[in-house]
Amino acid sequence: MGGKVNFDEMLGRFSDHWSPKVVGRMNDYEMKLVKIQGEFVWHTHDDTDEVFIVLDGELTIQLRDRDVVLGAHEMFTVPRGVEHCPKADQEVSALLIEPRGVINTGEAGGSLTAAYQSLID
């Protein structure tokens, strides 16, 4: 049975950027907290949509045809197969919802590929 999760408490457990931490699971999906600052890599997730929910700060999700700017308490779903590149001038705290096993850099790989980390196991 799942337990209560306090986002502020969980966010206080880490300081690294671009390294999502699992804080919940539902069926085959995971909820991951992440701190974002700077610019990520352009990448896709060919098999899944990806949901970004901004908890604090301002996040820009660059798409090839436009930018989507999200403030606190706003969300955006990047459709499967759509190339995107998140960026934030100042630190952002966000919740990601995606299927279990999704790699943060998708098909791009590289130095920002994060190891799997869970704060609830």
3-class DSSP string for the chain: CCCCCCHHHHHCCCCCCCCCEEEEEECCEEEEEEEEEEECCCECCCCCCEEEEEEECCEEEEECCCEEEECCCCEEEECCCCCEEEEEEEEEEEEEEEECCCCCCCCCCCCCCCCCCECCC
Across residues 37-66, what is the average pLDDT?
Answer: 96
Across residues 32-52, what is the average pLDDT?
Answer: 96
For all residues of the chain together, what is the average pLDDT?
A: 94
Predicted model pTM: 0.93
Q: State residue 1's pLDDT score.
A: 52
67-104 pLDDT, tens digit each = 999 999 999 999 999 999 999 999 999 999 999 988 88
Q: What span, in angstroms and rounded, lies between the C-alpha atoms of 34 and 46?
A: 21
Q: State residue 56's pLDDT score.
A: 98
Percent of the chain exceeding pLDDT 70 equals 98
At 2, the pLDDT band (50, 70, 90 cuts) reads low
More confident residue, 2 or 58: 58
- The CATH H-level (homologous superfamily) assignment of domain 7-99 is Jelly Rolls (2.60.120.10)
Question: In the beta sheet, which residues pair with residue 16?
Answer: none
* Spans of all domains in the chain: 7-99
